[in-house]
Structure 1
Amino acid sequence: MDLGFDQPMEHVLRQTVIAMRLAERLGADDLRSTLYYTSLLVDVGCHADAHEQAKWFGDDIALRAGKYRHDLRGLRGLASGVAMLGSSQPPLHRVRVGLAFATVGHRELDRMIEGHARLARSLAERLGLDPDTCDAVSASYERWDGRGWPGRLRGEQIPLASRLAQLAEHVEVAHRLGGTRAALALARSRAGTQFDPSLVASLAAHAEVIFAGVDRARSWDRVIESEPELRRRLVGPEVDLALGAVADFVDLKSPYTLGHSRQVAELAGATGRVLGLPDQEVVTLRRAGLVHDFGRLGVSNGIWDKPGPVGTGEWERIRLYPYFTERMLVQSATLAPLAALAVQHRERLDGSGYPRGTGAVSLTVASRVLAVADSYRTFREPRPHRPALGPEAATTRLRAEARAGRLDADVVEALLSAAGQTTVRRHSAPAGLSPREVQVLQLIARGLSSREIAGRLTISPKTVRNHTEHIYAKTGIVNRVTASLYATEHGLTSADLDEEPA
């Protein structure tokens, strides 16, 4: 999450150390487990509507970073947001965006922030965390003065873990940039509004101990050492469930990548079996497929969702995202083997790939499988500049890449065989959704408006709205982001959902 807020890596880990130390000063030993996971997950839903954030503000990452500079409910925070409206666009476009934001956009932004906490709670539940932790995560955007999001709690109604995590998150940034004096100045300036004044007072009283060495030692080691439940470990299927849950959340960043990582993982694993790879290597390959796009969080949706050509600077940022993935994973000895594989999924046999331009000699069979699986699924999914390709067109593109010497021809044929074996027809949809409602749900998740959905399905906008009301009533979703998560969790994102096996 650090990259998604334009923060150096380990920001969230350092804030967790600060929160745990402050809790220790308060004698809140019974809170350790809840606080630990709340602090780690506090911002995990904030990238889910990056598509909408980029639509309004140009650079969603810069927008999110602004919360550390200005109180979002203050005048300076408002002025900063207004100044970003339509950034990087021509003046006339910025005027149009500004007018639209004044009428509907500000309410949409509030709904986005409310949704962040709901999504963070959803991930906490999928990871099997206890109810107290889920409650604390879902209250992480509430404020002491009651003007937070969703604005149902104030003061001591807000779980203590939520108050601690929010304070620690902001003072970590201030401390890193300006030292203890800057951290305390920020805390005191928002005491009684955003932050619990008693926690600010305790922070000030024990600042020397709480901030001691926090910016020097590796935070990863410190956080693992302070894990309250005897360094709980995930084994076997638990690892896959956890990685899959995080992968689904990462893919929410753009409506064009919903379910991408899970589908790449399944296809890569199936291809590995066709090629006769050892079972453990197939497991590693499948897990690498789940994590291969984590680094996407470090690139703005102003780039990912851009319908036209990307500029030179934007392309250089894209070329870095596999490296970001590697840096995230390499800290863990367990995940490091996945990092070594995932970082190569955009490399090519002729050395034309990225981030390092690695050629055929250094690319293992597993690396080649992951590259082909990612390419095939990318062809099969829509992108801002083109619609999704059908199976035949995707196959043609994939074989063309092999003939050009960029992808391994044997792996391509193995994958096409695996794709035929793993394509399954869905006979029923969840929540009693009709086939047409599934189609509408998929297009809502892809970010299409009612008018655009009507054009795609050749039905009237009124019929689309009726379908949408029925979908919302049956599933409980309320917007594109929740529709995206629902579609991902129920396997409704695949472009070839209703095709017969090849």
Structure 2
Amino acid sequence: MHNQGVASSSTRHELPTRAEVLAALSVAVDLGLGQPAEHMLRSALIALRLADRLGLTERQRDCVYYTTLIMWIGCHADSHEYARWFGDDIAVRRSSYLVDWSGLPYQRFLLTNIGHGESLLSRLKTMATLYANARGHITQLIHSHCTSAGLLADRIGLGADVRDALRYTFERFDGGGLPTGASGEQIPIEMRVAQLADMAEVHQREYGVEGAVAMVRSRRGGQFDPALVDPFVADAAGVLAVPSTGDVWATALQYAPDHGTRLDGESLDALLVALGEFVDLKCPFTLGHSRAVATLAGAAAEALGLDAVAVATTRRAGYVHDIGRIGVSNQIWSKPAQLSTAEFERMRLHPYLTERILSQVPALKEVAAVAANHHECLDGSGYPRGLSARQLGMPDRVLACAVSYQSALEPRPYRDALGPAGAARRLRERATNGEFDPSAVDAVLYATGHASTKRTARPDGLTAREVEVLRLVAQGASNKDIAAKLVLSEKTVRNHVERAYAKIGVSNRIGASLYALEHGLTSE
């Protein structure tokens, strides 16, 4: 009891700041845009430098920071439609940074990218459908983007000024943008700054400072406000002098308006729920998937008797386990046929991308590690790393089962929903085949109402005390250490060890340690 209290206190102390979580979110957005990690963080720093040269107020600077950081957060909500028109939604977004979306260059860009990768006949059909009402279709895409961005900004606690600015992401200074054709000062100054910073970062990275200056000058009075272009050009090197890769994260967090605001457990959960739900918008068939997985995984972890910290970690990993999906094209997620080898390998990367995004936040490293393993299997047949049983703790095992069960309830482009009975059958089959932990499967099925009684997480007839002793043995504790830890006599500990060894069929500490690894008993 005392130990659990210490762990909980430590966990509370180590909860992340909101600025850290939103910075991680911006890295996910980078992946969806086809840009390198920290593109949006660098853009936010550039925007702040420009804001300083414009003499904006502190409140405006705060709005500039978060407007720039998450201006493309809605990009995943229209990915399904982007893939419908352009094939690879991520590739077309990456390419769009190099084109001024106006006049002939814009028309040429559309013609080049419509139905990219499809047969000529298929491309012609897509072109005919799109050009029958091109502005209407594109406006619809942009509307879904702006709406979802505004909703997410509200859910993660950003101010009304940021939410208002996000409505103008696709507008242009000259009035040629969408969805309303707003122009000039109708577009909030914060968005005008963000637009320039976002584009300038990409062009500086691709073509150097001179290339960024040439691009900004060419769009003066068109996409960009001349009142911003002129001070930018006057000191482009200074405005663009943001830290090199590796230093960007720390510097951007230092300049975040609320960099010292640490989340409590409830506010962290609410933020992770919001991230998971908006990630699920990337595909129509995953709506509500992450919350359902998290709820199920948390309930199963409780049924197994895991401690409060492990339950919270498992549940939080469930909320955000799929955030790496943003970095994989909807051309792959929506494919109704078998994936090619290249597509399959790309798909298999999404748990790795999840870990890459989340692990940048020190206080979310455990959540990131569990989330990254949601497609791993005990027999080493999972992905992305092909881990084996001894490398997977009980939270990993529970989350994998919860993901498998919930996914089976949902339709996919290549199959219909399996229903509760089919989902349960698939889970049991995977346990029989050695992919899933039978205890974790039982716990998930218990949590979903498939089992009438709560199953035990203790294999081979081990008692709760014997599991506790085995865990400490696996961690290298001596009988004397274990006795002190559990407030028992050494003789009692020795008896527990001997009985446990007999039940699991081992004769020494190494065998006991391997057994603990194989059965996910190394963590509470």
How far off is 1:131 after superposition? Answer: 1.4
Q: What is the rounded CA distance, in whole Å, between the counterparts of 2:77 and 2:259 in structure 1? A: 32
Offset at residue 89 of structure 1 (A): 1.9
Provide the rounded CA distance (Å) in 2 between the counterparts of 1:67 and 1:382: 32
User: Aligned partner of 2:42: which letter?
Assistant: R
Which deviates more from structure 2 when the two are superposed, residues 364-373 or residues 216-225? 216-225
CA contact (8 A) 1:144 1:155 kept: yes
In the superposition, the TM-score normalised over structure 1's length comes to 0.82
Matched, 1:7 2:71: no
Report the 3-state secondary structure (helix = DSSP H, G, I; strand = E; otherwise coil) of the residue aligned with 1:45: helix
Distance in 2 (CA, whole Å) between partners of 1:102 and 1:331 is: 43
CA distances 1:251-294 after superposition (whole Å, capped 9, x unpaired) = 10001111111110000000000000101111111110011101
For 1:62, the equivalent position in structure 2 comes to 91
Partner Cα separation in structure 1 for residue 449 and residue 129 of structure 2: 46
- Work out whether residues 67 and 77 of structure 1, in 8 Å CA contact, stay in contact via their aligned partners in 2: no
> Highest Rg: 1 or 2?
2
Task: Please say if 1:277 is aligned against 2:306.
Answer: yes
2:422 to 383, 393, 413: 393
Once residues 414 and 378 of structure 2 are traced to their aligned partners in structure 1, the CA distance between those partners, rounded to angstroms, is 26
Contact 2:325/2:350 (<8 A) preserved: yes
The answer (yes or no) to whether the contact 1:59–1:87 under 8 Å persists in 2 is yes
Instruction: Pick one of 316, 330, 333 that aligns with 1:301.
Output: 330
Which stretch shows the higher mean deviation, 81-90 or 6-15?
Answer: 81-90
Q: Please name the residue that 1:146 is paired with.
A: 175
Task: State, as a whole percentage, how many aligned pairs show the same letter.
Answer: 47
Counterpart in the other structure of 1:457: none
| 2:325 aligned counterpart, secondary structure | helix
Distance 1:5 1:340 in 2: 24
Contact 1:380 1:390 in 2 (8 A): yes
Matches of 2:182 and 2:130 in 1, distance apart? 27
SS at match of 1:149: coil
CA–CA separation in structure 2 for the residues paired with 1:54 and 1:216? 30
Give the 3 Å change call, closer, same or farther, for CA 389–235 of structure 1 in structure 2.
same
Q: 2:184 maps to what in 1?
A: 155
* Correspondences of 1:475-486 after superposition (within 5 Å): none
Task: Please give the per-residue CA displacement for 1:312-357, whole angstroms capped at 9, x wherever unaligned.
Answer: 0001101111111111111111222211111111111111111111
- The answer to whether 1:205 aligns with 2:234 is yes
Corresponding residue pairs, total: 422
Which residue of 116, 125, 129 maps to 2:154?
125
**Cα deviations by residue, 1:230-249 (Å, 9 ceiling, x for unpaired):** 52222121111111111111
Deviations 1:16-46 (A, max 9, x none): 1100111112221321211111111100001
Which 4+ stretches in 1 moved above 4 angstroms?
none
- Opposite residue 178 of structure 1, the aligned amino acid is Y
Q: CA RMSD in A?
A: 1.5
Which residue of 2 is the match for residue 214 of structure 1? 243
- The answer to whether residue 319 in structure 2 is matched with residue 311 in structure 1 is no
Aligned counterpart, 2:138 = 109
Which segment drifts farther, 361-370 or 73-82?
A: 73-82
Q: Who is 2:290 aligned against?
A: 261
Structure 1 contact 25–206 (Cα < 8 Å) conserved: no
* Rounded Cα–Cα distance in structure 1 between residues aligned with 2:242 and 2:425: 56
Tell me, which stretches of 5 or more residues in structure 2 are unaligned?
1-28, 452-524
1-structure distance, mates of 2:259, 2:407: 41
Out of 185, 198, 208, which is 1:169 matched to? 198
Paired residue type of 1:26: L
CA distance in 1 between partners of 2:354 and 2:259 (Å):
28
Residue 421 of structure 1, CA deviation: 8.6
Instruction: Tell me which amino acid in the other structure corresponds to 1:95.
Output: L
The question of 1:181 aligning with 2:210 is answered: yes
Tell whether the 8 Å contact from 1:63 to 1:81 is kept in structure 2 after alignment: no
Distance in 1, Cα, partners of 2:278 & 2:134: 24
**Letter of the 2:171 counterpart:** E
Partner letter of residue 12 of structure 1?
M
Aligned to 2:165: 136
Distance 1:230 1:306 in 2: 41
Instruction: Select the residue among 361, 366, 379 that pairs with 2:408.
Output: 379
The Cα shift of 1:217 comes to 4.5
Q: Distance in 1 between matches of 2:161 and 2:242?
A: 30
SS at match of 2:76: coil
CA contact (8 A) 1:17 1:214 kept: no
3-state DSSP of counterpart to 2:448: helix
Letter in 1 for 2:378: L
Which residue, out of 441, 447, 451, partners 1:412? 441
Q: For residues 204-255 of structure 1, what are the alpha-carbon distances to aligned partners after superposition, in whole Å with 9 as ceiling and x for unaligned?
A: 1122222224334521111110012352222121111111111111110001
Structure 1 unaligned residues grouped into runs of 5+: 423-502
1:481-500 → structure 2 map (5 Å cutoff): none
- C-alpha distance in 2, partners of 1:379/1:280? 28
| Counterparts of residues 342-491 of structure 1 (less than 5 Å) | 342-420=371-449
